[in-house]
Amino acid sequence: MHHMTLAEIARGLADKKLSSVELTQTLLARIAQLDPQINSFISLTQDLALSQAKAADERRANGESGALLGAPIAHKDLFCTQGIRTSCGSKMLDNFKAPYDATVVAKLAAAGAVTLGKTNMDEFAMGSANESSWYGAVKNPWNLEHVPGGSSGGSAAAVAARLLPAATATDTGGSIRQPAAFTNLTGLKPTYGRVSRWGMIAYASSLDQGGPLARTAEDCAILLQGMAGFDPNDSTSIDEPVPDYSAGLNGSLQGLRIGVPKEYFSAGLDPRIAELIHNSIKELEKLGAVIKEISLPNMQHAIPAYYVIAPAEASSNLSRFDGVRFGYRCENPENLEDLYKRSRGEGFGSEVQRRIMVGAYALSAGYYDAYYLKAQKIRRLVKNDFMSAFNEVDIILGPTTPNPAWKLGAKSSDPVAAYLEDVYTITANLAGLPGLSMPAGFVDGLPVGVQLLAPYFQEGRLLNVAHQYQLNTDWHTRTPTGF
Ligand code: GLN
């Protein structure tokens, strides 16, 4: 039962071949048995899951239907869940029970999805390896000595290990697409504003976007359908109709113009990954796509710009964690200043502290123009590059990451080395564009992802291309040994 995709589960439930309660019990038992190896969950919500499953079975018995009705999922632990710990992977919020549900959580619950638990993540979503979590590192099911990617490493590892079919995640600079690539999943970062950020604990508000992580594009379509849509509670949510993503999966790729940026194949890319990307291009050509070389000339400036903008926004967003209103408070503070200093010094881990300091520095009066303003100008140039590219092509294709998943600990003492691994993903966040990563093969037994980017609100196009690719390849069906 644990090998079923969301689409298969939906069919099984509709045909009464299985019940949501039965499925939920099976998966909870599987999590109890296998998760100690990978540490993908921070909290399990067994009681909630079983009551939601029972309610979903009753709704189906009363004639209701829907692809998510009775489907087991989990939420990255930065989506607020009412009455349930929402830790953001941090000691700071270890004792925080959210007073309300995030819009994404509420929408999925209303659609009948069953929440099995909250997944592990890099602290405050800062990282690319899921090693900065206060709850310990997550292991990659494909090789337990390697990282699963981050910051949505818990959601990715759990789905890859077949502990559940799909999970929510968020992507500020690649945190859906990069862990998808590292664990052989399909992950989609929607257009900025497509999925509500209300109740999603903020890292960098102008870049953060929630989205689905699953094994197939078909399942991403199902989960995104439940997540997307206008939310008056989020001032950056966009009031655009949500298309039927599943209905769009079967469009033909005949004549689809795919742009391949020449800058993607520079010295930093592992040549074995480059070869797999070329294979995926050939596969799409067989399906009728036309390939065109394009250029994204400002791509080289994206990492420095991102690593100014994201910490700047983080330093502002994280100022609310002060030991007073919620979260961790130090023991016996001597005075108010001591309370602030020690609560933040003890509650935040070192990567979070580093980013707060970098961000506060970049925003300070004397350096604002030199760093923050400059970074914002680069951001516009990156966006302009994409706008001119999309005048000529329908999607852009390339690697999701320059290297496969590295060994646990390999980059923990060198943060910049980890930042450089984000080179292919962060540009989509800077521009606000949708991006998808899908399985494209293996290097040394570790999965490799191919990334597709599309114009604003063309999530459906990404899912269509990925689905057609997956109908003609079997990388996404491979299962890690032992799971
Ligand atoms: N690795 C990037 C960072 O640490 C992206 C993280 C994310 O998308 N949440 O900022």
Give me the DSSP letters along 197-225: -TTB--SSTTT--EEEEESSHHHHHHHHH
Q: Which burial class, exposed, middle or buried, applies to 221 when counting CB atoms under 10 A from its CB (0-12, 13-18, 19+)?
A: buried
Mean of pLDDT values over 388-415: 96
Give me the mean pLDDT over the 140-165 stretch. 98
Which candidate, 155, 182, 367, 382, places its Cα nearest to that of 273?
Answer: 182
Distance 124 CA to ligand 1 centre (A): 9
Between the CA of residue 374 and those of 165, 354, 370, what are the distances in Å?
42, 21, 6
DSSP 55-110: HHHHHHHTT---TTTT-EEEEETTB-BTTBB--TTSGGGTT-B-SS--HHHHHHHH
What integer is the mean pLDDT of 9-31? 98
Angle at 25 (CA atoms; ends 23, 29), nearest 5 degrees: 120
Inter-helix orientation angle 217-227/103-110, to 10°: 110
User: What is the rounded distance in angstroms from the CA atom of residue 425 to the CA atom of residue 421?
Assistant: 9
Mutate which of 120, 155, 171, 175 for ligand 1 pocket (most atoms within 8 A of beta carbon): 175
Which numbered atom of ligand 1 lies nearest the CA of 207?
8
pLDDT interval class at 412 (50, 70, 90): confident
Q: Crossing angle of helices 46-61/20-38, nearest 10°? A: 150
* Cα(166)–Cα(163) distance, integer angstroms: 9
> Residue 41 has which token pair?
């969950």
Sign of torsion, CA 163 164 166 171? negative
pLDDT attached to residue 353: 98
Tell me what the mean pLDDT of segment 201-225 comes to. 98
pTM for this entry = 0.98
Residue type, 438: M
Contact 391, 258 (CB under 8 A): no
- 171 touches ligand 1 (CB under 6 Å): yes
How many angstroms is it from 426 CA to the middle of ligand 1?
Answer: 8
pLDDT tens digits for range 86-145: 999 999 999 999 999 999 999 999 999 999 999 999 999 999 999 999 999 999 999 999
Residue 160: what pLDDT? 98
Contacts of 383 by beta carbon, 8 Å cutoff, 6+ apart: 430, 431, 432
Q: Could you tell me the sign of the dihedral formed by the alpha carbons of 282, 287, 289, 295, in that order? A: negative
Which whole number is the average pLDDT over 222-244?
98
Ligand 1 centroid – CA 332 distance (Å): 34
Active site residues: 76, 151, 175
Render pLDDT for 342-371 as a digit per residue (tens, 0 to 9).
999 999 999 999 999 999 999 998 999 999
CA 7, 428, 271, 146 torsion: positive or negative?
negative
Q: What is the pLDDT of residue 359?
A: 97
> How far, in Å, CA of 218 to CA of 246, rounded?
7
The per-residue pLDDT for range 48-74, each reduced to its tens digit, is 999 999 999 999 999 999 999 999 999
Give yes or no for residue 172 CB within 6 A of ligand 1: yes
CA of 36 to the centre of ligand 1 (A): 25
Predicted confidence (pLDDT) per residue in 250-278, tens digit: 999 999 999 999 999 987 999 999 999 99
Ligand 1 atom closest to Cα of 125? 9
**Atom nearest to 306 CA in ligand 1:** 10
Answer yes or no: is pLDDT of 28 > 80: yes
